Structure 1
Amino acid sequence: MGADDKIRNKAEEVKGKLKEGTGRATGDRSMEADGRADQAEGHVKQAGEKVKDAAKNVKDAFKKS
């Protein structure tokens, strides 16, 4: 929910993209796959953060009523 989590998740996505590119450039299929997995994990965590934010917004809207 915090900015720190969002930054950490985005960094994981970027790290995965770099790892995937390095793996592709060097022909290391394992590294390339690890990079894709890191990216997917970052995306899932980002989606979770968005769900938390949406739930908080709904909760806040009910408090205002």
Structure 2
Amino acid sequence: MGLGDKFEHKAEEMKGKAKEGIGEATDNERLEAEGKVEQGQAKFKQGVDDVKDSAAEAFNDATDRHNH
């Protein structure tokens, strides 16, 4: 997975965390909930990135062993 995607997903997570904090501080339940949802979505995307990275690494390792 590209480094840009990882940064983008981490930024999305931080944005959600900020929204949650602002919502909590201002007693805005809707904003707080939106922040939690955004964090969850970002963490899901990060998990998908990790699975893709692991699959690519396993494929590369298998290919390297097969070629040597």
TM-score, normalized by the shorter chain, greater than 0.5: yes
Q: How large is the Cα RMSD of the aligned pairs?
A: 0.4
TM-score when scaled to structure 1?
A: 0.98
Structure 2 CA distance for aligned equivalents of residues 61 and 43 of structure 1: 27
- Unaligned stretches of 5+ in structure 1? none
Amino-acid identity (%): 42
Q: Residues 23-44 of structure 1, C-alpha deviation per residue, up to 9 Å, x if partnerless?
A: 0000100000000000000000
- Once superposed, which parts of structure 1, at least 4 consecutive aligned residues long, lie more than 4 Å away? none
Corresponding residue for residue 28 of structure 1: 28
1:13-52 alignment runs, 5 A limit = 13-52=13-52
| Higher Cα radius of gyration | 2
TM-score when scaled to structure 2?
A: 0.94
